[in-house]
Amino acid sequence: MPSQRKVVNLPLHGGHAPKWLFHRMVKLTRGITETLLYEYDTAEFLRRISDPYWFQALSCVIGFDWHSSGTTTTTCGAMKMAIDPQEHGIIVAGGKGRASRKTPSDIERAGDIFSLSSAKIDELVYASKISAKIDNSCIQDGYQLYHHSFLLDEKGDWAVIQQGMNDENRYARRYHWLSEEVAEYVEEPHQGICCDKIEAESLNMTASESEDSRKISVDLLCDNPEHLRKYFKDKTPLKSESQTRLDEYVTEFKMPRHHPVLDMDLSDREFEVLKKAYELQPSNYEDMLSLEGMGPKKIRALALISDLVYGSSPSWKDPVKYSFTHGGKDGYPYPVDREVYDHSIQTLKEALEGAKLGRKDKYNAIRRLEGLINGR
């Protein structure tokens, strides 16, 4: 089956999963994981978990609110507790908030357990960092990352599940990556992006339509960024309150500009980052993006200048594709993909039936799964 791009938005709900519920979630997650690993292998487990459909269905089956933002953090937390790297050949690195910053050390620990080379460990740490930077800087959709889980198996294959928050609309958005599907980090790298809300305008520098904009951004940077200052508004503070800018004082006569000006500003410190990047002369967009200090504002500025000056417009289409697990029942924003939906349910049912669980736990989980089927 060809890979599909998927996105999910989730409303933000406060509070935590009760201890009694989380304990059962961990137990169910362990049982389902062991069955899948017995029937398939770690690579197939990573494929399933990186599919927004399957991940959301798993969250519902193990007992958590199926459309809450907590679905992501709690399910990933349950996986981290349930999966033993020495027993299962998979480790769940990172997590929510401060735990996400421990991802590199978690990966290094996995490298020791799985006997991975130092070069491979460096490659995996880079994959973790660049995936987070891309979803925070290259996709500017208004969602700031606060959760980053990096799943890694003993062969060095990986998957990323990370989530961002929009403080204004109180929604969360989940981003899925799968290593075997990533041909280039900076072009269409996602296995799926999930959210209930489609933004009217989102800068997406990973879209294939943004290829020219990416190339010109690198060219602009490598051609001495000092010449870019003229494209920004002059926001130099006046020396006194009695002073007035000439263009504000003369209202009836204005000289035409020789070039367009962006309605944004870069500070001297931000220009210093561009100058340091210029000295390093990055050979491509990924190299440029991986440089220290190359954040969202500078990525956006270079994209806007490439459009204003060279007419190479980046993509402004929101990459989100699916609402909740399997699309809305009324077909909005996207219709249910019944084939994928049924496949998710069937594999979970098989895993539950084969899991080493108590009769009551298994019965309740299957009832929740049947609730998904009947609620379509």
Does the residue 288 lie in any domain? yes
Instruction: Tell me: do 332 and 301 sit in the same domain.
Output: no
Structure tokens at 95: 């997590």
100-134 tens-digit pLDDT: 999 999 999 999 999 999 999 999 999 999 999 99
Predicted confidence at residue 243, as pLDDT, reads 42
Question: How many domains would you assign to the chain?
Answer: 2
> In residues, how long is the chain?
376
45 and 177 both lie in a single domain: yes
Reported for 361-367, long-range contacts at CB under 8 A and 24+ positions apart, including other chains, are 361/24, 361/27, 361/28, 361/31, 364/63, 365/28, 365/61, 365/62, 365/63
233 in the same domain as 188? no
Domain boundary (310, 337, 355) is at 310
Residue 343 confidence (pLDDT): 63
Q: Please indicate, yes or no, if residue 1 is contained in any of the structural domains.
A: no
Specify if 2 maps to a domain. Answer: no
Same domain, yes or no: 27 and 170? yes
**Within a domain: residue 370?**
yes
- Cα(329)–Cα(323) distance, integer angstroms: 10
For residues 95 and 188, membership in a common domain is answered with: yes
Query: Do residues 109 and 196 both lie within one domain?
Result: yes
pLDDT at 19: 76
324: left (phi over 0), alpha (psi -120 to 50) or beta: left
The tokens for 154 are 């003993």
127 is a domain residue? yes
Packing angle of the helix pair 42-49, 52-61 (nearest 10 deg): 90
Other C-beta atoms lying within 10 Å of the C-beta of residue 111: 20
Angle between helices 19-39 and 338-354 (to 10 degrees): 100
Question: Quick check: 166 and 142 in contact, CB under 8 A?
Answer: yes
Q: Please say whether the beta carbons of 77 and 62 come within 8 A.
A: no
Considering the chain, what is the average pLDDT of its residues? 81
Q: How far apart are CA 330 and CA 337, in angstroms?
A: 12
Stated pTM of the model: 0.80
Q: Note the pLDDT of residue 65.
A: 53
Q: Does 122 lie in the same domain as 97? A: yes
Among residues 310, 337, 358, the one where a domain terminates is 310
* Residue 266 pLDDT greater than 90, yes or no: no
- Would you say residue 300 lies in a domain? yes
Q: Is residue 315 part of a domain?
A: no
Instruction: Check whether residue 46 and residue 130 sit in a common domain.
Output: yes
Same domain, 335 and 189: yes
Average pLDDT over residues 139-158: 97
Do residues 38 and 160 both lie within one domain?
yes
Give the whole-number percent of the chain exceeding pLDDT 90.
50
Closest CA to 172 of 197, 140, 203: 197
Instruction: Tell me which of 310, 333, 357 is where a domain ends.
Output: 310
Tell me, yes or no, whether 357 lies in a domain: yes
Cβ burial of 345 (10 Å; 0-12, 13-18, 19+) is buried
Whether the pLDDT of residue 76 is over 90: the answer is: yes
What was the pLDDT predicted at 56? Answer: 83
Which residues span the domain enclosing 92? Answer: 8-200+320-374
170 & 25 share domain: yes
Name the residue with tokens 């910053």. 101
Distance CA 202, CA 190 (A): 16
Residues 342 and 288 in one domain: no
- Spatial separation of the C-alpha atoms in residues 67 and 10, rounded to whole Å: 6
